[in-house]
Amino acid sequence: MSPRARKLGRGVALVGAGMSKFGAFPDKTSRDLFAEAFTAMSKSVDKGFDTNDIEALYVGNFSSDLFEGQGHVAPIMADWVGLVPKPATRVEDACASGGVAIREGIIAVASGLYDIVLVGGTEKMTNLPTEEVTDTLAAARDAIYEGAPGFSFPGLYAAMATAYMDKHGASTEHFMKVGIKNHNNGALNPKAQFNKSIRDLMDSRIEKAKQKGDPVPDWHEELDFLKDPKANPIVAWPMRLFDCSPITDGAACILLVAEEIAKDFANDPIYVVGSGQGSDHALHEREDLTTISAARFAGQQAYDMASVKPEDIQIAEVHDCFTIAELVAIEDLGFFKPGEGYKATEQGLTARNGSKPINTSGGLKSKGHPVGASGVGQVVEIWHQMRGEAGERQVPERDIRLALTHNVGATGGTCTVHIFHRR
């Protein structure tokens, strides 16, 4: 089914974006992280704004219910940044909660009901032991058809990865190369949870072994390190530890306003020109595990709304919860043909200095994946790159006019795609 081409009732612009540091913060709750992101966002608004002028809040959150015993998070976040009595709504679509919150914020401004809307995402995950986090995240699978047989997400994505290998001839090395690239980017992102390259991690372990007088591992290239089962154990074959995004605490915020007032906030506003969202059956019910049809549906909607093509997009943040997910994403979005994503990655086309830089922030893999916040965090990177404020990781020698974000819930039960334009 092809999505109906639609336009928003009026234009929407992005005039601010900021995030908390992503990482493990034992002393912080999701509300603390949210306030930190709100403060960072506030500082990014060129001409400033009055918090009282914000008319509504949409918060993406996967499950503070399960992680913190706290449902009904939206009014708490509203209270924490001074928005009471304004409407505050939580939206949830698993790991696409942030992307869906962005879409609701866009729709709300387009409806004419509000001119100024805050969109945020927040998740506090590291207070639970790792095994419990995996179980908690597993609430996003289909409890009846996928939960009962014992699937959790590493297993579900491993099924996608084996199908991809089988169909397209990719090897586990190709997955590893996604991780190497994203860690190279994350190493340049001070807000990333793991801001170290795989090479730096490898070198520091070698150094540590030397200092302790332990046998020095025989690692020369990153792939030597990643293929060593002691350094990079298998989680669910072919997905190893370094194919999985980490467990993360974090929050992100963006400010959306009606197009006609955008210049009251930003010197050079970024316009939301495309938005798409799709749903899909759970994984057990799909014919092809090497593509996410909700992503294709959402992408088509967003491209049609923006009247642009995949080749027009200059940079993208895509949902790399597992390394296989990035390969599927860059094919679903039409950046590369089916089965060509892993070759493009191997050729360096998706690197920061490649022709189609993907996940310059480090992606979920290296920047971190506080699930409900991740989709909003993607837009924070787009904001910095489009304004030329991404510091050391700024995409070189390019005037970025069109950028895209792609956020997936579970194994693709939900996907959102957004396209941003700097005029």
Binding to a copy of itself (CB under 8 A) within 93-132 occurs at 93-94, 100, 103-104, 107-108, 110-114
Which tokens hold the place of 393? 């990781």
Residue 245 or 416 with smaller CB distance to a copy of itself: 416
Q: What is the nearest approach in angstroms of a copy of itself to the Cβ of residue 27?
A: 13
Q: What is the nearest approach in angstroms of a copy of itself to the Cβ of residue 271?
A: 16
Q: What is the nearest approach in angstroms of a copy of itself to the Cβ of residue 20?
A: 18
Residue 106 or 165 with smaller CB distance to a copy of itself: 106
Q: What is the nearest approach in angstroms of a copy of itself to the Cβ of residue 372?
A: 11
| Residue pair 141/282 in contact by the 8 Å Cβ criterion | yes
Residue 29 or 184 with smaller CB distance to a copy of itself: 29
- Within 10 Å of residue 168's Cβ, how many Cβ atoms? 17
Per-residue mark of binding to a copy of itself, 254-293 (x: CB under 8 A): -----------------------xxxxxx--x-------x
Q: What is the nearest approach in angstroms of a copy of itself to the Cβ of residue 7?
A: 7
Output the CA angle 250-254-257, nearest 5 degrees: 165
Strand order in the sheet with 250-258: 56-60, 116-123, 250-258, 12-19, 270-279, 414-421, 402-409, 315-317
| Contact region with a copy of itself (CB under 8 A), list: 50-58, 163-171, 199-207, 382-390 | 50-58
78 binds a copy of itself (CB under 8 A): yes
Give the integer Cα–Cα distance in Å for 75 and 83: 9
DSSP run (H or E) holding 234: strand 234-236
Which tokens hold the place of 291? 């593509």
Residue 75 or 238 with smaller CB distance to a copy of itself: 75
Q: What is the nearest approach in angstroms of a copy of itself to the Cβ of residue 97?
A: 9
Out of 174, 319, 369, 384, pick the active-site residue: 369
| Residue pair 250/23 in contact by the 8 Å Cβ criterion | yes
Give the integer Cα–Cα distance in Å for 246 and 189: 16
Binding to a copy of itself (CB under 8 A) within 290-309 occurs at 293-294, 297-298
Residue 144 or 216 with smaller CB distance to a copy of itself: 144
**Catalytic residue check, 95:** yes
Give the integer Cα–Cα distance in Å for 289 and 285: 10
- Within 10 Å of residue 201's Cβ, how many Cβ atoms? 17
Which tokens hold the place of 105? 């914020």
Which residue in 385, 386, 370, 374 sits closest to 423, CA to CA? 386
Which tokens hold the place of 90? 């939580």
Give the integer Cα–Cα distance in Å for 276 and 303: 8
Q: Which residues contact 373 (CB under 8 A, 6 or more apart)?
A: 19, 33, 37, 60, 98, 120, 121, 122, 123, 250, 251, 252
Q: Which of 4, 212, 230, 423 binds a copy of itself (CB under 8 A)?
A: 4
Per-residue mark of binding to a copy of itself, 17-46 (x: CB under 8 A): ------------x-----------------
- Within 10 Å of residue 341's Cβ, how many Cβ atoms? 29
Per-residue mark of binding to a copy of itself, 142-161 (x: CB under 8 A): xxx--x--------------
Residue 107 or 241 with smaller CB distance to a copy of itself: 107
**Catalytic residue check, 369:** yes
Which tokens hold the place of 226? 């990643």
Per-residue mark of binding to a copy of itself, 368-407 (x: CB under 8 A): ----------------------------------------
Per-residue mark of binding to a copy of itself, 182-221 (x: CB under 8 A): ----------------------------------------
Catalytic residues: 95, 369
